[in-house]
Structure 1
């Protein structure tokens, strides 16, 4: 099993989670970086995220260097307005690699895991197994339990 960890984080919570998971598997965490930074002001950020989500805005991201041998993708991201942030959707749309399994995790269990799963299914190849689990940077045992057993 070759594991790739990719994350999007605006505040740093999901970055810490992704880095801890990557360290567990002896790999690095690859960030999804939008071409334009998101605002740090919470009100401005949520307004922009809401607009992007409900208007299906394409958010350009910087190119990522992914492991072509990876068969498992651990995708770490916040949930914005009950779905994946549009920068993560941009990443999914650009994927040229099929993974046997994708584990989606977020640093908080929130409304939207179901919708996130639907979005993942829309952009991943049909045989891909998708798991959705809540975790945080101090306890991601539910993520590792899927792969380590």
Structure 2
């Protein structure tokens, strides 16, 4: 079995350097593509205090959380989801790292296998994979899928290619089946 856990932030996002409104966050859109291919419903990582919908206000809060190493409280996820051994874990790269709600989640549960996917605007994964290794040192962390947020509309091919790599992996196949 596997689960898709995703932290995404609707509201405003950057497109060609300018904030534009979006109803569904970029990372959620990638999670939906992955979910369609795997026949799994992505599960949202939801902070108890929602993030601001304006890009500038979101940046201010996220920057302060990073500086404070905050662990924002999350809405509870079903224990069975957290106990699933294989996580497709999606997040936007904020300030070159994991967003703090994802770090909060990693304090609650420890998957055996993590397949990360992230949206960014030029940083790729930044140092988020290093942080993942530090937060879940016993997990097998597979090569991830970074997608530029402004290109999520054209991400289907990249998602398919990425998932195809794991369809033949005996460890992943065993855990997913």
TM-score (normalised: structure 1): 0.86
Residue in structure 1 matched with residue 3 of structure 2 by the alignment: 4
Residue in structure 2 matched with residue 36 of structure 1 by the alignment: 49
Which runs of structure 2 are paired with 1:105-144 in the superposition (5 Å)? 105-108=117-120, 110-111=122-123, 113-135=125-147, 136=152, 138-139=155-156, 140-144=159-163
Which of the two has greater strand per residue? 2
Q: Does 1:18 find its partner at 2:31?
A: yes
For the residue of structure 2 that corresponds to 1:91, the secondary structure is: helix
Q: Does 1:91 find its partner at 2:105?
A: yes
* Cα RMSD after superposing both structures: 2.0
CA contact (8 A) 1:34 1:61 kept: yes
Between the two proteins, the alignment pairs up a number of residues equal to 146
Which of the two has greater helix per residue? 2
TM-score (normalised: structure 2): 0.74
Displacement of 1:132 in angstroms is 2.2
Deviations 1:87-138 (A, max 9, x none): 010011111x432x21111134632624101111112142523322213463
CA contact (8 A) 2:7 2:27 kept: yes
